[in-house]
Amino acid sequence: MKLTLLIMAAGLGSRFGGDKQISKIGPNGEILMEYSIHDALAAGFDKVVFVIKRAMAEEFRQLVGDKIAARCEVHYVYQEYDSLPDGFVPPEGRTRPYGTVHAVLAAKAVIHEPFAVINADDYYGKEAFLTMAESLRGMAGKEAAASMVAYYLRNTVSENGTVTRGVCETDAQGRLVKVTETYKIQPMPDGTIRDTHSDPAGLILDPNALVSMNFWGLTPWYFRVAERDFRAFLADGAGDSMKKEFVLPTHIDGLMRTDGLVVDVLSTGAAWFGMTYREDKPLVEAELRRLHAAGAYPAAL
């Protein structure tokens, strides 16, 4: 069966200060998503779908797409702030897309098989892609099924500012019970990790809590329920119409209760790192140099 990787690369990168998805960061000028693509192809993935802004298309093809076109099937789809279902228009003045559910829906016309979803600006590790490939093969023919690669909270925070993470709860069978999108998580001088959004003093979080880094395994069934719920989200007048977003952890948490979605939490020892802030870049560069030096990656991807 075909294994498809959907890469969400249309984000504005506002906290990073630019289009971090195409920031050259590897020792030979690689961009971060090239490592995910390399690891995915090695794990057996043979189709890559890029969700990008239309204005990035030509540069994106030159930087990434044309390099891999001979090795796998490649598609480009576009997430714009106004690429909405019929009957909906963004409020005047809004110029940002509507979040990760919106991004996944941009690919509904080109994906007809179980697929993995990742962020463009995160490093997930080789083992994570091998584990996800096995999970997707097991989803063939299923509908309300999904999986998620989870990471420890302590390994996903930034010393340079707050982050948002989907904090997860699992049952004894390793299935997801609840995922809570948690904002303004920050490591503190006293060594704790705190949620400074829910409590101004900082609600202490378990550093060993499992969190979602938007590495999901989904089936084509998801497009149907996502379009239904995205329409409801757009029609709902609640929230700040200029900023509100419909995000995967929140949506999947709801689908477990409304539609019986079963989500397997995949166990992996893979390391994660990423770039939320520009100040994170030197640390990521150093880690990539180490991986190349250790032989984990060839001299040039």
- Mean pLDDT is lowest, of 11-25, 86-100, 135-149, 229-243, for 11-25
| Residue 138, helix vs strand vs coil | helix
**Alpha carbon distance 93, 253 (integer Å):** 30
Helix, strand, coil: what percent of the chain each, to 5? Answer: 30, 25, 45
The average confidence (pLDDT) of the chain is 91
pLDDT recorded at residue 297: 94
Confidence check: pLDDT of 24 > 90: no
pLDDT recorded at residue 144: 97
Closest to 98 measured CA to CA, from 240, 198, 212: 240
Q: Is 79 exposed, middle or buried (0-12, 13-18, 19+ CB in 10 A)?
A: buried
Class of domain 4-293: alpha beta
Q: What percentage of the chain carries pLDDT values higher than 90?
A: 73
pLDDT band at 21 (very low <50, low <70, confident <90, very high): low
What is the DSSP pairing of strand 122-123 with strand 203-205? unpaired
Confidence check: pLDDT of 224 > 80: yes
Closest to 214 measured CA to CA, from 9, 3, 2, 1: 9
pLDDT digits (tens, 9 = 90+) for 199-221: 877 899 999 999 989 999 999 99
pLDDT recorded at residue 271: 78
Domains of the chain, residue spans = 4-293
pTM: 0.90
Q: Could you tell me the two tokens for 215?
A: 């590495």
pLDDT recorded at residue 16: 41
pLDDT digits (tens, 9 = 90+) for 116-152: 999 998 999 999 999 999 999 999 999 999 999 999 9
Q: In the predicted model, what is the mean pLDDT of residues 172-199?
A: 92
Confidence check: pLDDT of 268 > 80: no
Contact 150, 210 (CB under 8 A): yes
